[in-house]
Amino acid sequence: MTHALLVIDVQNDFCPGGALAVPEGDLIVPGINALMADFPAVILTQDWHPAGHSSFASTHNAEPMTMTDMPYGPQVLWPDHCIQGSIGAQFHPDLTVDRADLIIRKGYNPAIDSYSAFFENDHTTPTGLEGYLRTRGITDLTMVGLATDFCVNFSAVDAAKLGFTVTVREDLTRAIDFDGSLTAAREGMHAAGVVLA
């Protein structure tokens, strides 16, 4: 077994009606479920923030979708979302979660956000996913989920930098597209050697 499907953050808060809804985020769920059957390994990621997380605009008395500087660099200040134990943090109810071999939770450190499935936003603190994949002999990753321009993008680029062969299925992702972020993400993924399919 060398190939795994990585399903990024298909959670209620990123779907229509959620706190940080990605347009049409729910429409990719049936396709993701169908794709799971084609992979010997399926891994899910789950955004998992404590209340009052440092990436929340409310923590800074700021407007959502504004920028601030953190010790690790620029940070978008998001609406409160995917709070641990909340309905919003749960996976979309139609997602076939029982097919997952592993669920990686990220963003639980209150001091630092975590877009990537591999590293927190300081780009050095690992989540442990790389070690898991290597010990299982997985070399190829296909990524789907939410959102194309943030968590999928950061996960794909990090995986490629770590030496994995990475494909992003754009038909099974959706983007926030905040201030040109989708175009920048596509360019960054392409430059890193990620295949956009």
Residue % of the chain over a pLDDT of 90: 98
For residue 75, pLDDT beyond 90: yes
Residue 106 appears among annotated catalytic residues:
yes
Set 15, 80, 151, 158: catalytic member: 151
- Average pLDDT, stretch 25-48? 98
pLDDT the model gives residue 72: 93
Global pTM value: 0.96
Q: And the tokens for 42?
A: 């399926």
Residue 161 appears among annotated catalytic residues:
no
Q: Rounded CA gap, 120 and 122, in Å?
A: 5
Dump pLDDT digits (tens) for 116-128. Answer: 999 999 999 999 9
Q: Rounded CA gap, 118 and 106, in Å?
A: 9
Tell which residue, 132, 117, 106, 121, has the closest CA to residue 168.
117
Q: Round the average pLDDT of the chain to a whole number and report it.
A: 96
Set 9, 13, 47, 149: catalytic member: 9
Residue 97 is classified by DSSP as G
Set 106, 113, 149, 158: catalytic member: 106
Higher pLDDT, 4 or 178: 4
pLDDT the model gives residue 1: 65
Residue 151 appears among annotated catalytic residues:
yes
Q: Rounded CA gap, 72 and 82, in Å?
A: 22
Place of tokens 């309905």: 87
- Within 13 Å, how many C-alpha atoms sit on residue 147's CB side? 20
Dump pLDDT digits (tens) for 137-160. Answer: 999 999 999 999 999 999 999 999
